[in-house]
């Protein structure tokens, strides 16, 4: 590189001395090619084109989670029974890992409630539940919520009182967004989910 620069300097001096000021001394270096991300597999949830908004108001595509295992569930913030248990179970699944591996996991909550669970409401929920930066809380429109629910296998419907009846499902995704484990119901099955997550973390 130093030899190249020195040669350019000599050429520039020679051209200036000859009165030819308009010719470039050296050809420009070609721009570096940007790395193209690998395509998602047919089983990856990250193929969907919809975007969500997190509790900081930022637009989020699910593909931004690529590269780390994910524990994901659907919920709504005004739920006072099943959803708090889902959140507690997700925490226990993460805490079932050795301490050095816990930080490598993303914990994701996607709300069913497209009207009330605004980014501001989700931000309050984060504060109330003491959810740290490892958690991602997502709000989406009706189409986005229906699409991710279908891919996760979660069924839900809104009742006349505004609450939601829904599947209680926690899903583990590998680094490519492929489903590797589902835990249905509340409370039980935490050891199996933590074991699946550990295998995913240690996969080459």
Nearest-angstrom CA–CA distance, 106 and 67: 10
- Which is nearest to 62 in space by CA: 199, 155, 178, 168? 178
More confident site: 124 or 6: 124
In this prediction the pTM is 0.81
| pLDDT interval class at 49 (50, 70, 90) | confident
Identify the burial level of 85 via C-beta atoms within 10 angstroms of its C-beta, where 0-12 means exposed, 13-18 middle and 19 or more buried.
middle
| pLDDT interval class at 6 (50, 70, 90) | very low
pLDDT of 169 over the 90 cut: yes
Tally DSSP H helices, then E strands, for the chain: 6, 9
The DSSP secondary-structure symbol of 23 reads S
The mean pLDDT of the chain is 87
pLDDT of 129 over the 50 cut: yes
- Which H/E stretch holds residue 109? strand 106-111
pLDDT of 88 over the 90 cut: yes
What domains are defined for the chain?
45-202 (3.40.30.10)
Q: What is the pLDDT of residue 38?
A: 80
Phi first, then psi, for residue 72 (nearest 5°) are: -130, 145
What percentage of the chain carries pLDDT values higher than 90? 74
- Which H/E stretch holds residue 184? strand 179-184
pLDDT of 10 over the 50 cut: no
| pLDDT interval class at 142 (50, 70, 90) | very high
More confident site: 30 or 105: 105
């Amino acid at each position: 590189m130093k030899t190249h620069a020195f040669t350019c300097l000599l050429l520039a001096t020679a051209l200036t001395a000859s009165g030819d000021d308009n010719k470039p001394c050296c050809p420009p270096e070609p721009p570096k090619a940007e790395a193209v991300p690998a395509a998602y597999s047919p089983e990856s949830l990250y193929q969907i084109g919809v975007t969500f908004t997190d509790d900081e108001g930022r637009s989020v595509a699910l593909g931004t989670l690529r590269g780390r295992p994910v524990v994901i569930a659907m919920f709504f913030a005004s739920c006072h029974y099943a959803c708090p248990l889902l959140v507690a179970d997700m925490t226990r699944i993460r805490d079932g890992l050795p301490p050095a591996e816990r930080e490598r996991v993303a914990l994701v909550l996607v709300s069913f409630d497209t009207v009330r669970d605004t980014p501001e409401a989700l931000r309050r929920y984060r504060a109330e539940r003491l959810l740290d930066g490892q958690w991602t809380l997502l709000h989406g429109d009706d189409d986005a919520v229906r699409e991710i629910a279908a891919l996760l296998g979660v069924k839900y419907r809104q009742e006349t009182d505004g609450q939601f009846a829904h599947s209680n499902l926690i899903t583990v995704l590998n680094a490519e967004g492929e489903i590797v484990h589902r835990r249905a119901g509340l409370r039980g099955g935490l050891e199996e989910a933590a074991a699946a997550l550990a295998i995913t973390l240690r996969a080459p």
